[in-house]
């Protein structure tokens, strides 16, 4: 076999055929030990191993989020249009109206 496969995964979801995924040796190194089944330790015993990086989860945007983004886009367009030829600045417009 040309490429040594050291790790493999089989995935399956309800209603679909199992799919076998073969994983190449990239990033895999020779192990010096096997893991051991042990009781799950208390959090205090292992908390030094955790990173401070918070877990991330994608949240679906709410209607309010989408509306806020749309308003931002509208505002950006409005500001951009002020710089176009023929546009009038708010201060000039107010002056014209006498307010």
Partner 1 sequence: MPEKEIQKDIPPPVLLSVIICERVIIDRISNQPSIIGAFETISAPAYPARHARLAFFCQLTNGRGKTKIDIKLVDVEEEDKLLFQGAVEQEFSDIRQVANLTFDISGIVFPHPGEYRFQIYAGTEFLGERRIICRKIELPSGDKSNG
- Interface with partner 1, residue 97, by CB under 8 A: no
Task: Please state, in angstroms and rounded to a whole number, the distance separating the CA atoms of residues 82 and 89.
Answer: 6
CA–CA separation, 97 and 90 (whole Å): 11
Q: Is 15 in the site for partner 1 (CB under 8 A)?
A: yes
Q: Which of 26, 19, 15 lies closest to 7, judged by CA?
A: 26
**Pick from 1, 2, 3, 9: which binds partner 1 (CB under 8 A)?**
9
Backbone angles phi, psi at 56, to 5 degrees: -115, 140
Contact segment (CB under 8 A) with partner 1 among 55-63, 70-78, 82-90, 91-99 equals 55-63
Is residue 51 a contact point for partner 1 (CB under 8 A)?
yes
What the block records as the tokens of 29 is: 């190194």
Q: Which is nearer to partner 1, 51 or 83 (CB)?
A: 51
Judged by the rule CB under 8 A, the positions of this chain that interact with partner 1 are 6-16, 19, 21, 23, 27-38, 40-41, 46, 49-51, 53, 55-58, 60
């Amino acid at each position: 076999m040309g490429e040594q496969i050291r790790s493999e995964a089989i995935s399956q979801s309800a209603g679909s055929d199992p799919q076998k995924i073969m994983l190449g040796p990239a990033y895999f190194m020779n192990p010096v030990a096997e893991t051991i089944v042990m009781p799950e330790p208390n959090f205090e015993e292992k908390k030094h191993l955790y990173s401070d990086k918070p877990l991330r989860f994608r949240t679906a945007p709410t209607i309010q989020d989408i509306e806020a983004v749309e308003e931002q886009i509208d505002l950006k367009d409005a500001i951009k249009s002020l710089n176009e030829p023929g546009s009038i600045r708010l201060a000039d417009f107010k002056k014209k109206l006498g307010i």
